[in-house]
Amino acid sequence: MKDYKVDKAKFSVSFCQEVYQVVCDIPVGKVSTYGEIAALLGMPQCSRMVGRALKQVPEGISVPCHRVVNASGRLVPGWTEQKQLLLKEGISFKQNGCVDLKKHLWNYSASE
């Protein structure tokens, strides 16, 4: 695995705001991945930074973080409410417990 050199200064308030905006654009019944969001922001090597931004959403900001999963469709470990929130939105899961990305992955370019 390649070790990317990421300018930690880019992990700023503006980066977080961009992440939140993209996540807010994910429609009900769809999901995206950390990597897809990072790529959309022009930083494909920064999927972990996307996760970190979502982990620290400030109070008073409503961001549908439950609609973001890993590249396999796996949910956030320890966040039991995530699956319930996704089920309420009509998201289906495979037998292994992962989101069925073939059915529910958000295609950003198709929604523009």
What distance in Å separates the CA atoms of residue 25 and residue 111, rounded to the nearest whole number? 9
Give the contacts of 32 (CB within 8 A, at least 6 positions apart): 22, 23, 26, 67, 68, 69, 105, 106, 108
What distance in Å separates the CA atoms of residue 106 and residue 44, rounded to the nearest whole number? 17
Which of these, 50, 60, 59, lies nearest to 20 by C-alpha position? 50
Residues known to be catalytic: 65
Which helix (H) or strand (E) is 17 found in, with range? helix 13-25
